[in-house]
């Protein structure tokens, strides 16, 4: 067990110790278990407000001190104490919302010191950082509270320390969980940036922008810009251009230990804009730069499954990554294709459902009066024969097979490329 990496807990690494990865681990509480919990909820949602109260009351009955954000304490829950990042010693955090709520929670810990573990309940939209169901909070939190007896699994997600400089002087520092973005802002021109890795100039960026992303951020803005999906335990940093001028400028993955510096040269045509996890937007003046290094302390995210299972399930279930067409989908497509076949043969097909005026005075269905290309000759979905659906399904499946050219020589298939 190793202490000092996660606030209030010791960690036992799950990966081979010889590899020195230090990303996937089991955590066990120090000093008998957690005593203080910080709950952050999605703003403007009555659902998350009700769930926060329910969870907070349950934790209070377990003898746990509950903290909430100061605005929430002031306007909604004065019965719970307000969180103070400088003075409160939080044992673990609860997030109620989506990925944005987790990013907001992370931004509240501004110093690069060991962070408390976070358990995130999905109450937002698409989320890769929220594997837990808020309806099952009691067994989930009971399991976390008992981690001093039975360790829970977590992933230490890398953060980036982003230092903003202007004319060589440090202006501000931000820690990001997803990405640092430098783009053209309101300017109609492409932004021109000089990119350095470990002090070496690697390229001049001419694009709408550049994303410096962590593995956690690889499924966020970087993915929308064409970047790869990277498992959160991979020690790397992504450089993803946004609409680059050169088509050969592809996304790049560099070691997470590398220092990345993005400089806006004095000769740039316009200023640029920078943001950090979608927050703290600032204007980058000419001769300013952003230096990105790996934060000393990662964010411990409590997982449902072992190793990276939560992440793989997330990209499959939420992104539908490489999910094959199900048989039910194929049947729906076959029915649609069958109607098209009938229409091509001169018979107009139209479903009876959902059309105004489909019912008579007794409420029973009647065939809509539709004139087809050969007169009044309509066919409803229910009247499609089993043979027609079967034929259409076979044609659809055949259309999914790749075209294979005849072999150019005996036993040597032609690739077609």
Catalytic residues: 99
Q: How far is CA 190 from CA 183, 222, 309, in A?
A: 8, 18, 40
Q: Answer yes or no: are the C-beta atoms of 336 and 393 closer than 8 Å.
A: no
> CA 367 to CA 377: how far, in whole Å?
11
E strand or H helix that includes residue 2: strand 2-6
**Burial bucket for residue 383 (CB in 10 Å: 0-12, 13-18, 19+):** exposed
How many Cα atoms sit within 13 Å of 38 on the Cβ side? 23
Ranges of beta strands (E only) in 77-188 are 81-82, 92-97, 118-122, 132-133, 152-157, 160-166, 169-176, 179-183
Tokens for 224, please give them: 């929308």
In the chain, DSSP finds a helix count (H) and a strand count (E) of 8, 25
> CA 56 to CA 54: how far, in whole Å?
6
């Amino acid at each position: 067990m190793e202490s000092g990496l996660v606030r209030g807990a010791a960690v036992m690494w799950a990966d081979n110790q010889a590899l020195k990865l230090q990303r996937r681990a089991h955590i066990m509480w120090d000093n008998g278990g957690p005593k203080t919990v910080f709950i952050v909820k999605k703003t403007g949602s009555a659902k998350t407000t009700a769930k926060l109260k329910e969870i907070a009351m349950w934790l209070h009955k377990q003898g746990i001190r509950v903290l909430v954000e100061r605005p929430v304490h002031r306007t909604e829950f004065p019965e719970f104490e307000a969180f103070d990042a400088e003075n409160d010693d939080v044992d673990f955090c609860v997030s109620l919302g989506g990925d944005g709520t987790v990013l907001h929670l992370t931004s509240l810990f501004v110093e690069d010191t060991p962070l408390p573990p976070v358990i995130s309940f999905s109450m937002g939209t698409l989320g890769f950082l929220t594997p837990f169901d808020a309806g099952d909070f009691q067994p989930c939190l009971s399991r976390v509270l008992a981690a001093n007896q039975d360790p829970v699994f977590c992933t230490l997600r890398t953060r980036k320390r982003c230092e903003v400089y202007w004319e060589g002087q440090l202006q501000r520092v931000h820690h990001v969980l997803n990405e640092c973005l430098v783009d053209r802002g309101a300017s109609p021109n492409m932004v021109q940036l000089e990119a350095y890795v470990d002090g070496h100039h690697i390229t001049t960026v001419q694009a709408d922008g550049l994303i410096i992303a962590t593995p956690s951020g690889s499924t966020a803005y970087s993915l929308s810009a064409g970047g790869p999906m990277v498992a959160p335990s991979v020690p790397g940093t992504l450089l993803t251009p946004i609409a680059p001028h050169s088509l050969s400028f592809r996304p790049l993955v560099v070691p997470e230990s590398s220092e990345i510096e993005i400089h806006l040269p004095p000769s740039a045509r316009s200023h640029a804009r920078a943001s950090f996890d979608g927050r703290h937007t600032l204007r980058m003046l000419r001769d300013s730069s952003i230096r990105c290094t790996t934060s000393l302390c990662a964010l411990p995210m409590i997982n449902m499954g072992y190793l990276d299972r939560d992440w793989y399930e997330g990209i499959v279930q939420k992104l539908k990554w490489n999910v094959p067409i199900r048989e039910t989908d194929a049947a729906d497509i076959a029915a649609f294709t069958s109607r098209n076949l009938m229409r091509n043969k001169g018979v107009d097909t139209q479903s009876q459902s959902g059309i105004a005026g489909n019912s008579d005075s007794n409420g029973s269905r009647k065939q809509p009066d539709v004139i087809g290309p050969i007169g009044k000759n309509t066919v409803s979905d229910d009247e499609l024969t089993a043979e027609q659906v079967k034929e259409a399904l076979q044609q659809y499946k055949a259309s999914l097979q790749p075209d294979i050219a005849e072999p150019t020589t005996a036993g040597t298939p032609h690739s077609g490329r």
